[in-house]
Amino acid sequence: MLESLQALDRTVFLALNGMHTPYWDSFMYIFTSKLVWIPLYVSILYVLYKNMNIRMVIFTTLMFALLVALADQTCSSILRPIFERPRPSRDPAIADIVHIVNGKRGGKFGFPSCHAANTFALACFMMLLFKNRALTTFFMLWAIVTCYTRIYVGVHYPGDLLFGTLVGFAAGAVTYGIYRFCLRIDGIANGVRFHQDRKLVKHPSHMQYTSIIIYTGLLTIAIFAVYSIWWRT
């Protein structure tokens, strides 16, 4: 059973990894890097600042840090040493036919994917925190594209990404549970406010200016899409 699943995983990976062009090599290589997240993080902090007092901003930022640490370390420090599954770029069975971008093969093991865990952890947490359909859809799509880039550049099997996604959702739900629990016992949720009428509200879920996050993400993608053309010329 396990061998059949691994064979299917390899087949799906090779089919997806085999679809590549010089332009998409550039774009996927950029999009899969951590650099692309910086504008998005800045926009999230800005929206938190516009909706919360400084104490809540700091507290929520710490929860984001906990979220990423929980998702990332669960994959890299706990699960990978247990399973020790080689990345496709380092799998002796297929390494020679994997499409690698810019020679980067990643570390030795890739199950589960930290990228998938981190992006879906953030998507889950943002969904629970903001309760905004458009924002949730944007982050889910962003996470899916990020996962695809990991297949494209040859460093993760679909199975790595699927399991990483499960870890991410679990990390997001657990972190949000801790977040809400801390708000209840400390009462600092009363520091959350609407920007327009300055009314204090009890729950930090009805935030304004969330569209800024979406616009920032789309603008970032557009800039890197154009840059990818220049990078290849």
Residue 232 has what pLDDT? 57
**What does each of the 233 residues of the chain score in pLDDT, given as a tens digit?**
777 888 899 999 999 999 999 999 999 999 998 888 899 999 999 999 888 888 888 999 999 999 999 999 999 999 999 999 999 999 998 999 999 998 888 889 999 999 999 999 999 999 999 889 999 999 999 999 999 999 999 999 999 999 999 999 999 999 999 998 888 776 554 545 433 333 333 444 557 788 999 999 999 999 988 888 876 54
Residue 11 has what pLDDT? 93
The structural domains of the chain, with segments of one domain joined by +, span 23-80+111-228
Global pTM value: 0.89
Residue 45 has what pLDDT? 94
DSSP one-letter code for 85: P
Do residues 190 and 202 touch, judged by C-beta distance below 8 A?
yes
Q: Residue 60 to residues 49, 180, 204: CA-CA distances in angstroms?
A: 10, 10, 10
* DSSP calls for 95-139: GGGS--STT----SB-SS-HHHHHHHHHHHHHHHHH--HHHHHHH
Residue 207 has what pLDDT? 72
> CA 117 to CA 101: how far, in whole Å?
22
Residue 136 has what pLDDT? 95
Contacts of 178 (CB under 8 A, 6+ apart): 63, 66
Residue 193 has what pLDDT? 45
